[in-house]
Amino acid sequence: MFKYLLYIVIMSSQLLGASILQAAMPIPKPPSTGAKSYIILDYESGNTLAEENADIAVEPASITKLMTAYVIFNELQSGNIALNDIVTISEKAWRTPGSRMFVEVGKQVPVESLLQGMIVQSGNDATVALAEYVAGSEDSFAALMNKHAEAIGLSGSHFMNSTGLPDENHYMTARDIAKLSALLIKKFPEYYKWYSQKEYTFNDITQQNRNRLLWQDESVDGLKTGHTDAAGYCLVTSAKKDDMRLITVVLGTGSDNARIDASQALLNYGFRFFETHKLYDAGTQLTTSRIWKGSSETISLGLDKALYVTIPRGQYNSLDASMNINHRIMAPVTKGQALGTVQVKLGEQVVANQPLVSLQTIGEGSFWQRIMDEGLLYFE
Residue in 304, 319, 278 with CA at minimum distance from that of residue 356: 304
List 6's β-bridge partners, or say none: 324
Cis peptide, bond prior to residue 223, ω within 30 of zero: yes
At 77, the amino acid letter reads Q
Active site residue 62: yes
- Cβ atoms 103, 129 nearer than 8 A: yes
CA-to-CA distance for 35 and 37, rounded, in angstroms?
5
Q: H helices within the chain, ranges in order? A: 65-78, 91-95, 111-119, 124-135, 138-151, 174-187, 189-192, 213-216, 256-273, 367-379
Phi and psi of 341, rounded to 5°?
-140, 155
Candidate list 36, 65, 224, 293, residue with the active-site label: 65
Candidate list 37, 45, 62, 289, residue with the active-site label: 62
Residue in 149, 92, 84 with CA at minimum distance from that of residue 126: 92
Local structure of residue 17 (DSSP, 8 states): -
Quick check: helix, strand or coil at residue 60?
Answer: coil
Active site residue 65: yes
Candidate list 90, 122, 162, 300, residue with the active-site label: 122
Active site residue 32: no
At 13, the amino acid letter reads S
- Cβ atoms 23, 6 nearer than 8 A: no
Count of Cβ atoms closer than 10 Å to residue 111 Cβ = 22
Torsion, Cα 231 246 262 24, to 10 degrees, reads: 140
Residues annotated catalytic, as ranges: 62, 65, 122
